[in-house]
Structure 1
Amino acid sequence: MALLSLLRVPSASASPPPYSHRRPTAAGTLLVRRAPLVGALWVLSLGAFTTLCCRTGCSHSIPFLRSKLFNQPSGRTLHSTAMASASITVPSIVVYVTVPNKEAGKKLSESIIKEKLAACVNRVPGIESVYWWDGKVQSDAEELLIIKTRESLLDALTEHVKANHEYDLPEVIALPIKGGNEKYLEWIKNSTRDV
């Protein structure tokens, strides 16, 4: 009954000002139209709740919501999705390499792709690197290369970067890809050379 009082709509004879969501009732008091607010809060809380459960991998904590509302099997978690991706593809990595300028980034990224050492290289211009070198703090504008490849190609990629880079000590840092779009991960495998 309390919910019905929240959803009560005032009479049509009283027209609200265009800028207000409140309108006077026959008794002269203000009645707040709560239905949109209640609905919005419910949707937001549902979204936050399911996001939290999905993020923590607790699919069993809300099996009804995940299986009925989102049409997903209740036993499948983000972890099992990552494991399924890994089983049909090869282990993949993301590698960071910094270069001094746009021209060096273009030249190095194209040579990496031509040698099939990576499926894709994203070039991120305009980064500022602050680092320790020659006993003092240095700062330089650089371009960041984000390279997607097979884990098994890391050694060959590292050697290629070292042989074709302008720096004496080029950055080559690899991070594992734990899961993702299965078709994209398969594309990484198919777009790179076998070891």
Structure 2
Amino acid sequence: MAAETTARVVLTTTDSAEDAERLARVLVDAHLAACVQISGPVRSVFRWEGAVSVEAEWQLWLKTDAARVDDLSARLVDEHTYDVPEVLVLPVVGGHGPYLAWVTEETEPAELDQ
């Protein structure tokens, strides 16, 4: 297992399976995420505008390279339906080398992006 990687996992949530899939497709198509896992519904408990809410949400695990995190985060916020979307970036401290290489390869900017 690799000790140092440039891979990152970005987490977000959304309020529907359809929106989760839409976001995933947009980000993979733009080469900002190599892949996205969608799980849900999950139950989220949070305080918003002074009240505690309990809502069903769908969680997205986006795999990307550190070089693409800023672009992915900006696009995610632009495309998201929430006023204040969750965008958490987690370092990947190890993993299967060929998979990590694939993540980097899949998130290289496309010719049209450059």
Instruction: Give the structure-1-normalised TM-score.
Output: 0.54
List alignment gaps of at least 5 residues for structure 1: 1-80
CA distance in structure 2 between the partners assigned to 1:173 and 1:145 by the alignment: 11
CA distance in 2, matches of 1:180, 1:96: 18
Q: Choose the corresponding residue for 2:16, options 90, 101, 115.
A: 101
Q: Which residue of 1 aligns with 2:96?
A: 181
SS where residue 57 of structure 2 aligns? strand
Structure showing greater radius of gyration is: 1
Deviations 1:93-133 (A, max 9, x none): 11101011011001100000000001010000210110011
Cα distance in 2 between the residues matched to 1:111 and 1:193: 15
Residues 71-90 of structure 1, C-alpha deviation per residue, up to 9 Å, x if partnerless? xxxxxxxxxx433xx4xxx6
Relative contact order higher in (CA < 8 Å, ≥ 6 apart)? 2
Q: CA RMSD for the aligned pairs?
A: 1.4
Deviation at 1:191? 0.7
Give the 3-state SS of the residue equivalent to 1:82 in structure 2. Answer: coil
CA deviations on 1:143-171 (whole Å, 9 max, x unpaired) are 00001100121111111111111100011
Instruction: Give 1:135's aligned amino acid.
Output: G
Secondary structure of the 1:169 match is coil
Native 8 Å contact 2:13 2:85 kept in 1: yes
CA distance in 1, matches of 2:41, 2:18: 13
> For residues 85 and 75 of structure 2, what CA distance do their matches in structure 1 show?
11
Contact 2:43 2:57 (C-alpha < 8 Å) held by counterparts:
yes
Residue aligning to 2:28: 113
Q: Distance in 1 between matches of 2:2 and 2:28?
A: 26
Match of 2:69 in 1: 154
Number of residues of Structure 1 aligned to a counterpart in Structure 2: 110
**4+ residue stretches of structure 1 with deviation over 3 A?**
none
Report the equivalent of 1:70. Answer: none
From the two aligned structures, give the one with the greater strand fraction: 2
Judging by fraction of residues, say which structure has more helix: 1
Per the alignment, in what secondary structure is the counterpart of residue 93 of structure 2?
coil
Distance 2:99 2:57 in 1: 28
Q: Match for residue 107 of structure 2?
A: 192
SS at match of 1:168: coil
